[in-house]
Structure 1
Amino acid sequence: MAAGAGLIAVTYGVVRFGFGLQLTQLSAEFSLTPTLSGLIASGSFAAYCVSALTARRVTAHRGARTVLWLATASAVAGALLVSVAWTAAALAAGVLIAGSAAGAASPALVVAVSATAPPRAADRRQAVVNAGTGAGVVAAGLVALFAPSAWRPVWIAAAVAAVVTAAVVDRRTDWPRPDGAASTGTTAEEGGTWRALLRPVLAATLAGLGSAAVWTFGRDLLTTVGGLPERTTAVLWVLLGATAVLGALSGDAVRVLGLRRTWVLTVALSAASTCGLAAVAADPVAAGVAAAVFGGSYTALSGTLIAWAGALRPHLAGATTATLFIALTAGQAVGSPLTGSLTGTLGAPGAFTVSAALLASAAVVLPRTGGGRGAPRR
C-alpha cells in the first residue's frame, strides 16, 4: 500500500500535475502563453486517456503486472525528456509521455490492491493509495519553495522514484492471472452494465472539465492575478498537497455517508474552492484555505469514483476504474485549453468561475442508490 501510494505520488503528483505547479518557471523559460500552456496540459491529459484505454486491453491479455511496468516506463521516459528539454516542443513531448503514465498506473494498482488486500479492507486501502497524489504535490511544492529554479532535478528524481516504487509493488503483489473475457467485460452478464456506466462517466467528465483550472492554472493565477510572491504560492501548493492526503478518508466517508452523499459533498467542496481561489487570489490566508479545501476534496472525489466503480462492477474494479478515470481526464483534456482560452477573453477569475460552475454540475449526476449510512453503493 505504501509503495502503491508512492507510485501514485510520482505519476500523478509530480509528472502529471507537476507541469501546472512549475508553470510560472516554465512559462518564463520557454515563453509559454496561457493558450499554449493549456494545450500542453490538454495533450498530457489526452495521453492519459489513450494510456488508460490501452491498459484495459493489456490487462485483459497480459495482466496488470505488465501494465504496471508500462506505466513505469512512460513515467521514466517522459520525466527524463522534460529534465533535458531545450525547446517548448521537447517540453511538450516530455509532459505528454509522462502524463500517460498515470493512465496505466491507476488500473494496475487497483488490481494490485484488490488481489492482495483482505476484501473488508480493500476500499480503505484503495483510497489510501489514491491519496498518494497529495504526497507527490507536497514533494514538488517543497522543491518549488526552496529551489524554484531547480525544476529539472525534480523530474530526474521522479524517474528514479518511479522505478523504485514499482519494483516494491511488483514484489509485494499477489498478481492474478489475466482473463481476457472477464477483464474486458465482454461476457453477456457484464455487457449489460455498460448502460449503468453512463451516469458515472458523465459525472466524471463534468468533474474533469471543472477541475482542470486549478491543476493547470491555479498557481499561475495566484502569481499573476493575486500578485503573491512565488515562495508564497509554493507554500500554498504544499498545503494543497498536504490536504490532498486526506483523500485517503474517502473510503471511510463512503462507508459512513453512502456513495451519493459523499459524491455530492466532494464535488460541492471542489467547486466552491475553485471559485473561491479566484475570488481571494490576493489574500494568502484565504487562498490557502481555498487551496487546502480543493486538495482534500478533489482527491476524495477521485477516490469516490473508485468506490463507485467497485460498487458497479466488483469483479472488474480495475477496468471500471480505468473507464471512469478516462472520463475524468478527458474532461480535463478539454477543460485545460478551454480555461486558457477563457482567460484571454474573460480574465482568469471569469475563467475559474465558469470552471467552478461546470464542476458543480457534476453533483447533479448522482449514483442511483447509496444515499445513506450502510446503503448499497451504486
Structure 2
Amino acid sequence: MLAKSVSAYRSAVVALLAGCVAIPLAAQPAAPAPAAGAVPPASPAAAPATDPKTLPLEEGEGRAVALKLADELIKSFVFRDNAEDYAAMLRKNAAAGRYDKGTRGELATMMTDDLLAVHKDGHLHVMLAPPPERAGAAEAPQRRGPPPGWPPLIQAAKTIAPGIGYIRFTAFMGTDEEVAAVRKWLAENANAKTLIFDLRNHHGGGLDEQDAIFSYLFAKPTPLVKMAVAKDLFDRGDSPLASGPTLKFEAQGDKMVATHTAIPGADTPLRTAKVYLLVSNKSGSAAEHFALALKSSGRATLIGEATAGANHFGGGQPLNEHFGVWMPVGRTYDIKTGKDWEGDGVAPDIAADPRQALVVALEKAGLSHDEAVKLDAQEVPGEPVHRDKLRAR
C-alpha cells in the first residue's frame, strides 16, 4: 500500500527545479492537479468523505513520523549542521510524547512550527500526503499543474501599450501550455522596446519558462547563477536537478555545482530591449532565481520591494502513507558574491510600493503618469501583491 501512496504523493507534490513551489499546508491538493484538458473524476463521490487534516493520529504514528523525518533531514537537508539541530529537536520531542496526540493536520502544523523555531527556512515544511488513488485511476503521473484555487499560471500576456510587452505569472510550472504561451508572447512582442515581467505574486517553480525567456534576452551565452547540492545526494539520484543544455553539473569537493546559463535563440530586437521586473515580498523561490539572474547579469531593473527570501530548492518526499516533507536539498547563489537570498530576499533596484510597481515601470518605459495609472487599473492580479510579514510563515 505504501508504494501506491508514495506514487500518488510524488505526482501531487510538485518537486520543481529552481527554488521550488512551497505549497502551504492549507493549499495542499487532495489529489494530483489535472493537466489542462484532462478529464475530471466521474463524480464528486469519488473524493474522500473526510478531510485528511481532521483524522486523528494512529497510536505511535506521530512519534514514527518525527523519527523518520529526523533521519531524512540528516540524509538530505541542504546544511548538515542545521539538519543535526532539527533532528535532535525532533527526537527529543518525540521521546517526550509531544507528537502522540491530535489530528494529522495539527501534527503537520506543529512539526513545521517546531522546525522553523530551530532554523528558519522558506521551503521546509511537513505536509499531508494525498489519499490513495481511487480505484481505476491511471498509474502514469499526470503533468504538473497549479493546485486547485490558484489563478491561471499566466494571468496576463499582452502588448500593454505600443512597444511595451507585459506578462504576469502565478508560477513557472513547466507545462507544455505555459512554455508555449511564453514563447508566443515573446514572438508577438519581438519588436518591443520594453518588456515588463510581473512576478509580484509568483509562487515559484522551475527553469523551463526562464530558459525560454533568457533565449530572447541574451545575445551570447551568459552565466547567471550557480546551484549546488551535496555530491552523495546527487550520486544516489535524489537531486531534483540534473544536467541539461542550460545547466551543467561538475564535482567541487563534496558538492555538485552547476552554472545556470542563458543560451541565446534566434536574433531579435529583444536582445536590446529594456527589461523591468516587478517584485514583492510574495515573489518566492523560482521568482527570486529569475530576479537574481537578471539583476546580477545587469539585464533587468527590479522594481518593488525585497522578495520573499525562500532560496533552498528541493522537492516533496514521503514520510509514510499520510505525511510528507518538502525537503530543501540545495542552494542557488550569486556567481559574483557567493551569497544566496535565503531569509533576506533579492533587493529591488528601484524601491517602490509593490502595489504601484507597474505604474513606475510604465513611466520608466516612457508613458505619462496618467496613462500609467489608467493601464495599471486594468490589470488586476489574481492574488494580493504584498503580504504582512508578521503573518507570513
TM-score (norm 2): 0.24
Higher helix share: 1
Larger of the two Rg values belongs to structure: 2
TM-score (norm 1): 0.24
Structure number with the bigger relative contact order (C-alpha 8 A, sep ≥ 6) is 1
